[in-house]
Chains A and B, each alone.
Chain A
Amino acid sequence: MDKIIVSDSIVKSFGVGRERRNVLDGVSVDIGAGEFVAIMGPSGSGKTTLLFALSGMDSVDSGSVVFDGEDLSRLGDDALADVRRKKMGFVFQQPTLLKNLNVLDNVILPSVRDGTLSALQINEKARALMKMAGIEELETRGVGQASGGQLQRVGICRALMGDPKVIFGDEPTGALNSTSAGEIMDLLADVHRTGTTVVLVTHDVRVATKAERVLFIFDGKIAGAHEAGRYDAACDDVDARQQALATWLAEMGF
């Protein structure tokens, strides 16, 4: 499997003087193209920091992150923005939508900025994605007129507009009830099936069950990895997968 992300000994610290501590302490992680990876760990272990480092959203103090063949630490702000727009998609815990824009406008915003597609193509693509996500009826609604689960789906549609190579998720189901969370995970699994790499941070075992590989991070270091293999809803015994993951996590001290 080709590697889409290769990170080597990344260190990231916060704080000043004696208070300074390494949140990431020499982490090396490779992620294959088309892989579905979940990052788990206790609060404050550095999960989200790792996600931001791998996506170039945050700089690292030392070490390197190579994304799709480009060393992110060597890219300027504008080049990083281009990579983000053309090759990455982000889904956060809270739906990060702009209140000024309606649902459809939020979805198409990055593509309009990108300017590669025509207005017609952009609108058609957005409507197709919204239909797939089951939110086509929200098109003209304001952000304040949709539920949390619906807004998270809007965020996923927006993330998919640029046909990203990787979708990064930072606890994308963290603020949702279990039904909505399940629906969002199904949607991400669908996206993964189309060949998109998915990397997400979660503390929810049910969410991580659908990942091919689960990384456990503890005190800024990768403490272990759990290879679960590609998830297939039709054949796999979900409960067994979840049980195996839970057992492993318990061994890791989670």
Chain B
Amino acid sequence: MGMLYRLIRNDVLRSTAVTLTTMLFVAAAALLVALAATLVVNLAGAIDTMMTRAKTPHFMQMHAGHLDRERLAAFADGNDAVADFQVLEFLNLDGSQFVFAGGSLAASVQDNGLSVQSERFDFLLDLDGNVIAPSDGHIYVPITYMQDGTARVGDTVRVAGTPLTIAGPLRDSQMQPLLSSSKRFLVSRDDFADIEPFGSMEYLIEFRLHDLAALGAFQAAYVAAGLEANGPTLTYPLFRLINGLSDGLMIAVILLISVLVIAIAFLCIRFTLQAKIEDDYREIGVMKSIGMRVGDIKRIYLAKYAFVAAVGCALGYALSFSLQEPLLANIRLYMGESDSASWAPFLGLLGVATVFLAITAFVYLALGRFHRIPAAEAIRFGVSQEAPSGGRRVRLSTNQRLGANAFLGLKDVLVRRKLFATMLIVLVLTAFIIIMPRSLHHTISSKSFITYMGVGETDLRFDVQQTDRIADRTAEIAAALEGDDAVSAFVVLTTKAFEARSSDGSEVRIVVELGDHSVFPLTYASGRAPTGDHDIALSALSAGDLGTGVGDVLQVMVGGQARDLTVSGIYSDVTNGGKTAKATFTDDGAATMWSVVGVELTDASLASAKAAQYGARFDFAKVSAMDDFVAQTYGPTLRAVGTASYAAVGISLVISALITLLFMRMLIAKDRYAIAVLKSLGFTASDIKTQYLVRSVFVLALGVVLGTLLANTLGESLAGAVIGAFGASSFAFVVDPLEAYLIAPALMALSVLLATVFGTLDAGTIRVSESIRE
């Protein structure tokens, strides 16, 4: 044991830089794995705890218009699956009715409204997870408005003219995420009654079931009963999903980076191990020749790497505790403490232990090479006598145009392919981590991205809902747009509900947006937009529910008659619970649920001004400039992805520089003899540095090309999977060529080449007299 300790200590002292770098990567890998594990446990637990405490409804139907409470109550009583039932009121108010100290919510694209505390379930909670009981004159505000600075505790907000004191933030288990388009403010019953005349009432028809597994059957029964359904339908799994989405995305990014860092840590170990074995080649031969078993020799090396891995893992695990706080802060704020949080450190430890075991197993396998080292040869020559493989056809005698330095650099990379493969893989990975998140950010920032989300690319959008005479009022808007020179195109889309027959014969209610869908087309995952009276396009979720694909025929009841519609295309949608359909036929029978008017302006920069102008003129409609809509709905996600992508760029550049530096230092140490030979032949120090630069440039170029290709193929699929979580199923990168093909490679080149220059600074100072005689 004592000898083993001395061997490890001496080895660590002799190669401090290499050992520290390896330890650093192991620590980073352990840190990320522990963080991801902790975050997963906390996020999943916190969502569960919040949704349990709030008693989130299992099924919720939003409805605007007349409500028949008796009929609903009778349905609930008669359905065995129902455990509890209630109808909550949501008083929809125009954003301009909320006036805070710093301004109003007029520009908000959210549907802001008031609620009173529920008595049975779907409670609005305070930050301690308790059910809030607001007193008169007090208002509780969605956390998001507290966070962005709109509201502050103690301030006064005027809601429809009534002054209310902000008593605190509220947690809303179903409408909290920005992706959910409504936001509930909580007031007392009396205040609610006072303000009621200023808004339009919307109903939240909510059910809790005995068993969540019965949700599908219950949903079908609700539709079959022909109950109130003028608005989106939302379910418990969907609430869970959108609550976890943004933090889940962060965890996904951490996991992705940790996989890459683990890969880099492995490469680092493989490389240092290889170099170490070559350094110790003679000693290994000597040990074998004096009768030490390969297993004994392996143990010495394994002990060192186990030590490095253990220290690295311990360091990473310890660091994870200090770093998890800021990352958990968001989860804690929006969802509260997790009841299962005490499990997190154990799961983190398990993750770190897995990293440790994987590293030691990896080293053990890599040490298998000892079996193949011939003792006699090792003692005699001190280096492996394996003939250089590859690159034999590349000859200096037939290729002198390159110049001796460029030739030697290139040839070396070709001959020692296995060695340079390590550096290549690191550079491919770093190019990937630089380009992929940037392209993802660029793609989701691009204006056309919303077409993946079920929203056409317009400049301006009118939403007409929760009002009487939707059709007339929409026509009023259309007439105004007709006469506006600034409008280059517009389209009216009317949403109605129809009964349809799914592939298994059951009746399903589908929400269909009728109108001309060719004006502001969506991006279709498959097929095309509906064009004729017998076409229908379905959202991916609807198509899944109905069990239909492109080309299939769907029977829909239109005007009391069954009509066969052919599915022309399938698109992704995140609006209205994701279950929508689009068609062009006309229908006068069914009631209009809401309508949307999409507008393209001759000058897109006028959008905000036009939105304000039309918003004032048509106070019954919500008018939003598309840029504002995107910024407010996806803004925080965009910013998070943007920040993450810049962080990824920074981390990657540091990794590529660090690995290159390490690689060059080791290469120089390994090549001392060859460098001395070249110096004896009259090669200058700068000749030798140039040769190493050529090696770097060659590997760098290859790495950047492969990394870029990988980012645009595998990265695109990976990003597609992430975006898929938002409901978008088809996905293509919008690449910023300047950034991806010029700036990213230039930054990588800068970091790698600078590292090469620093790493090879003393290459020229190797003394021939010392190195050649060894």
Q: Which residues of A contact B (CB under 8 A)?
A: 48-49, 52, 57-58, 77-78, 81-86, 88, 90, 92, 96-102, 104-105, 108-110, 112-115, 119, 122-123, 126, 142, 144, 158, 162
Q: Are A123 and B681 in contact (CB under 8 A)?
A: no
**CB within 8 Å for A81 and B684 given contacts A99-B388, A105-B395, A113-B404:** yes
Nearest residue, chain B, Cβ from A114: B682
| A-side interface mostly | helix
Give the chain B neighbours of A88 by CB distance below 8 A.
682
Give the chain B neighbours of A49 by CB distance below 8 A.
769
Chain B 386-420 per-residue mask, 1 if CB under 8 angstroms from chain A, else 0: 01100110011100110111011001100100000
Give the chain A neighbours of B681 by CB distance below 8 A.
84-85, 90, 109-110, 113, 158
For the complex formed, measure the closest distance between the CB of B695 and the CB atoms of chain A, giving whole angstroms: 12
8 smallest A-B Cβ distances: which pairs? A85-B682, A113-B404, A119-B400, A105-B396, A84-B682, A58-B769, A81-B684, A112-B404
User: Is B322 positioned at the interface, with any CB of A under 8 Å from its CB?
Assistant: no
Q: Are A112 and B400 in contact (CB under 8 A)?
A: yes
Give the chain B neighbours of A82 by CB distance below 8 A.
682, 684
Q: Are B686 and A109 in contact (CB under 8 A)?
A: no
Q: Are B773 and A78 in contact (CB under 8 A)?
A: no
Give the chain B neighbours of A144 by CB distance below 8 A.
385, 387
Q: Are A109 and B680 in contact (CB under 8 A)?
A: no
For the complex formed, measure the closest distance between the CB of B667 and the CB atoms of chain A, giving whole angstroms: 13
Give the chain B neighbours of A83 by CB distance below 8 A.
682
Give the chain B neighbours of A57 by CB distance below 8 A.
680, 768-769
For the complex formed, measure the closest distance between the CB of A103 and the CB atoms of chain B, giving whole angstroms: 10
Give the chain A neighbours of B303 by CB distance below 8 A.
none
Q: Are A96 and B682 in contact (CB under 8 A)?
A: no
CA distance A98 to B671 in the complex (A): 11
CA distance A100 to B673 in the complex (A): 13
For the complex formed, measure the closest distance between the CB of B302 and the CB atoms of chain A, giving whole angstroms: 30
CA distance A57 to B408 in the complex (A): 22
Q: Are B674 and A98 in contact (CB under 8 A)?
A: yes
Q: Which of B673, B676, B682, B685 has the most CB of A within 10 A?
A: B682
For the complex formed, measure the closest distance between the CB of B676 and the CB atoms of chain A, giving whole angstroms: 8
CA distance A48 to B412 in the complex (A): 31
Q: Which of A52, A88, A105 has the most CB of B within 10 A?
A: A105
Q: Are B403 and A112 in contact (CB under 8 A)?
A: yes
User: Is B134 positioned at the interface, with any CB of A under 8 Å from its CB?
Assistant: no
Which residue of A48, A78, A100 contacts B684 across the interface (Cβ within 8 Å)? A78
Which residue of A84, A100, A126 contacts B391 across the interface (Cβ within 8 Å)? A100
Nearest residue, chain A, Cβ from B771: A96
Q: Are A48 and B773 in contact (CB under 8 A)?
A: yes
User: Is B683 positioned at the interface, with any CB of A under 8 Å from its CB?
Assistant: yes
Q: Are B396 and A112 in contact (CB under 8 A)?
A: yes
**CB within 8 Å for A78 and B404 given contacts A52-B769, A57-B769, A98-B674:** no
For the complex formed, measure the closest distance between the CB of B206 and the CB atoms of chain A, giving whole angstroms: 75
Give the chain B neighbours of A104 by CB distance below 8 A.
395-397
User: Is B750 positioned at the interface, with any CB of A under 8 Å from its CB?
Assistant: no
Nearest residue, chain A, Cβ from B674: A98
Q: Are A96 and B680 in contact (CB under 8 A)?
A: yes
Which residue of A77, A90, A113 contacts B680 across the interface (Cβ within 8 Å)? A90
CA distance A112 to B677 in the complex (A): 15
10 of the cross-chain contacts (CB-CB < 8 Å) are A52-B768, A81-B683, A81-B687, A90-B681, A96-B680, A108-B396, A113-B405, A113-B683, A113-B687, A142-B392
Q: Are B405 and A100 in contact (CB under 8 A)?
A: no
CA distance A114 to B400 in the complex (A): 11
User: Is B764 positioned at the interface, with any CB of A under 8 Å from its CB?
Assistant: yes
For the complex formed, measure the closest distance between the CB of B364 and the CB atoms of chain A, giving whole angstroms: 30
Which residue of A77, A92, A109, A142 contacts B404 across the interface (Cβ within 8 Å)? A109
Chain B 669-701 per-residue mask, 1 if CB under 8 angstroms from chain A, else 0: 000011011111111111100000000000000
Which residue of B400, B674, B687 contacts A122 across the interface (Cβ within 8 Å)? B400
A sample of 11 more A-B contacts (CB under 8 A), given A83-B682, A112-B407, A142-B388, is A81-B679, A85-B683, A92-B680, A98-B408, A98-B674, A100-B391, A108-B397, A109-B681, A110-B683, A113-B683, A119-B400
Give the chain A neighbours of B391 by CB distance below 8 A.
100
CA distance A98 to B408 in the complex (A): 10
Q: Are B677 and A98 in contact (CB under 8 A)?
A: yes
Give the chain A neighbours of B405 by CB distance below 8 A.
113
Give the chain B neighbours of A115 by CB distance below 8 A.
403
Nearest residue, chain A, Cβ from B673: A96
For the complex formed, measure the closest distance between the CB of A95 and the CB atoms of chain B, giving whole angstroms: 10
Nearest residue, chain A, Cβ from B411: A100
For the complex formed, measure the closest distance between the CB of B550 and the CB atoms of chain A, giving whole angstroms: 58
Give the chain A neighbours of B404 by CB distance below 8 A.
109, 112-113
For the complex formed, measure the closest distance between the CB of A66 and the CB atoms of chain B, giving whole angstroms: 19
User: Is B20 positioned at the interface, with any CB of A under 8 Å from its CB?
Assistant: no
Q: Are B387 and A142 in contact (CB under 8 A)?
A: yes
CA distance A49 to B687 in the complex (A): 26
Give the chain B neighbours of A92 by CB distance below 8 A.
680, 772
Give the chain A neighbours of B407 by CB distance below 8 A.
112
CA distance A96 to B769 in the complex (A): 13
User: Is B332 positioned at the interface, with any CB of A under 8 Å from its CB?
Assistant: no
Give the chain A neighbours of B401 by CB distance below 8 A.
119
Nearest residue, chain B, Cβ from A105: B396
Give the chain A neighbours of B408 by CB distance below 8 A.
98, 100, 109
CA distance A142 to B415 in the complex (A): 12
Give the chain A neighbours of B388 by CB distance below 8 A.
99-100, 142
Give the chain B neighbours of A123 by CB distance below 8 A.
397
Give the chain A neighbours of B270 by CB distance below 8 A.
none
User: Is B276 positioned at the interface, with any CB of A under 8 Å from its CB?
Assistant: no
Nearest residue, chain B, Cβ from A53: B769
CA distance A82 to B683 in the complex (A): 8
Q: Are A86 and B772 in contact (CB under 8 A)?
A: no
Nearest residue, chain A, Cβ from B676: A96
Q: Are A78 and B396 in contact (CB under 8 A)?
A: no
